[in-house]
Amino acid sequence: MCSILFCFKCIFLLENNRVIETIKRLGILYIIWSLIYLPYDIIHSKGYSVIKIIRLFFWDGNSHALWFLCGNIIGIVIVYLLLRFLDYRIILVISVLFLLVGCFKSSWAPIAFQIFKIQFSDVLGTRNGLFYGFPYVAMGMYLTKNRKWEGKPISGSIIGFAISLIALIAESMLLVVYYKTSSTILWVSVYPLTYFFFTLVCRIKIVLSVDKSRFIRKISTLIYVSHGIFLILFSGYQYMVYFLLVSIFATAFSVIIIKLSQRNGLRFLRYLY
């Protein structure tokens, strides 16, 4: 899901020329929600070195859902800067190389160790803007600048999506069931799957009013950044109960915040989304 969001975000930015504005918005959102999660982070970061705390905040996104905001900012900045010096196709190739390195540091780690006798151990991690955000933001950039896919039959997207989905199932079965990989953050087959998914859904016309579109954006953002609170509050429940409680409370919380932010004197709540 996050791979798709990275991709869509970049497409929106490049088409509307709002890169700097969006980086600022994401930065403010990240700082505000980091402060909200701060009490929990303080409790669970006891014994951490200063360097690790700095890395968590500026690189890993505090290990909450906020990692997506942090990764988005880093990925967008990388692509934005590289576009000043390199062709967008070269940037895409470079980003894919980073994705492959990330995969060998993540889900493909057992195979990397078995074949190449290499075991990655570094401070960079994989769920961040370099190995996760950058490749998918670069894909969004590529889809924006190369519009040839728009003139091709939708059947190509459907077939590509189906093949990529089968490849993902096979990849996950191989790595999770057979190799017992301990990390499932990055997958090779998700990359083409995201590409074909985007080219497929772009052919589907959904008519929504501006108000409904804005509401969906607001509530989806709020649910995403706030659900970590309810993951903490309801931890310990049986899986399905846990899922339902988090979903219901995160949605209700988001609706309430949006409604309150429309009132005079409470408009500052808009900074939460």
pLDDT digits (tens, 9 = 90+) for 93-149: 999 999 998 898 888 988 888 877 666 665 566 677 788 889 999 998 898 888 888
Do both 171 and 88 map to the same domain?
A: yes
Do both 35 and 24 map to the same domain?
A: yes
Q: How confident is the model at residue 61 (pLDDT cuts 50, 70, 90)?
A: low
How many distinct structural domains can be found in the chain?
A: 2
pLDDT at 150: 80
What is the chain's alpha carbon radius of gyration, rounded to the nearest angstrom?
20
d(CA 82, CA 137): 12
pLDDT at 242: 95
d(CA 273, CA 261): 10
pLDDT at 149: 81
Do both 55 and 139 map to the same domain?
A: yes
d(CA 257, CA 226): 11
Burial zone of 111 (CB within 10 Å; 0-12 exposed, 13-18 middle, 19+ buried): middle
pLDDT at 182: 83
Q: What is the pLDDT of residues 204-259, one digit of tens each?
A: 888 888 888 889 989 999 999 999 999 999 998 998 999 999 999 999 999 999 99
C-beta separation of 69 from 61 below 8 A? yes
pTM: 0.82
Do both 242 and 112 map to the same domain?
A: no
d(CA 55, CA 74): 13
Instruction: Go through 127-145 and write b for each residue having 16 or more CB atoms within 10 A of its CB, e for each that does not.
Output: bbbbbbbbbbbbbbbbbbe
Q: Which domain holds residue 242?
A: 208-273
Task: Using the predicted structure, report yes or no on whether residue 10 has a pLDDT greater than 60.
Answer: no
CA 209 to chain CA mean position, Å: 26
pLDDT at 20: 83
Do both 144 and 250 map to the same domain?
A: no
**The amino acid at 116:** F
In angstroms, the Cα distances linking 68 to 2, 27, 259 are 7, 11, 25
Do both 217 and 171 map to the same domain?
A: no
Point out the domain boundary residue: 205, 221, 256.
205
CA atoms within 13 A on the CB side of 146: 15
Do both 78 and 14 map to the same domain?
A: yes
Point out the domain boundary residue: 147, 181, 205.
205
pLDDT at 123: 55
pLDDT at 192: 95
pLDDT at 9: 57
CA angle 217, 223, 229 (to 5 degrees): 155
Q: What's the DSSP call for residue 229?
A: H
d(CA 106, CA 92): 21
d(CA 205, CA 18): 24
d(CA 128, CA 69): 9
- State mean pLDDT over 7-23: 66
Q: How confident is the model at residue 48 (pLDDT cuts 50, 70, 90)?
A: confident
Task: Using the predicted structure, report yes or no on whether residue 266 has a pLDDT greater than 90.
Answer: yes
Do both 153 and 50 map to the same domain?
A: yes
Do both 62 and 110 map to the same domain?
A: yes
Of 128 and 37, the structure prediction assigns the larger pLDDT to 37
Do both 44 and 126 map to the same domain?
A: yes
Q: What is the pLDDT of residues 135-179, one digit of tens each?
A: 999 998 898 888 888 888 889 999 999 999 999 999 999 999 888
pLDDT at 129: 79
Of 196 and 129, the structure prediction assigns the larger pLDDT to 196
Point out the domain boundary residue: 189, 205, 221.
205
C-beta separation of 179 from 111 below 8 A? yes
Do both 192 and 214 map to the same domain?
A: no
pLDDT at 244: 96
Do both 154 and 172 map to the same domain?
A: yes
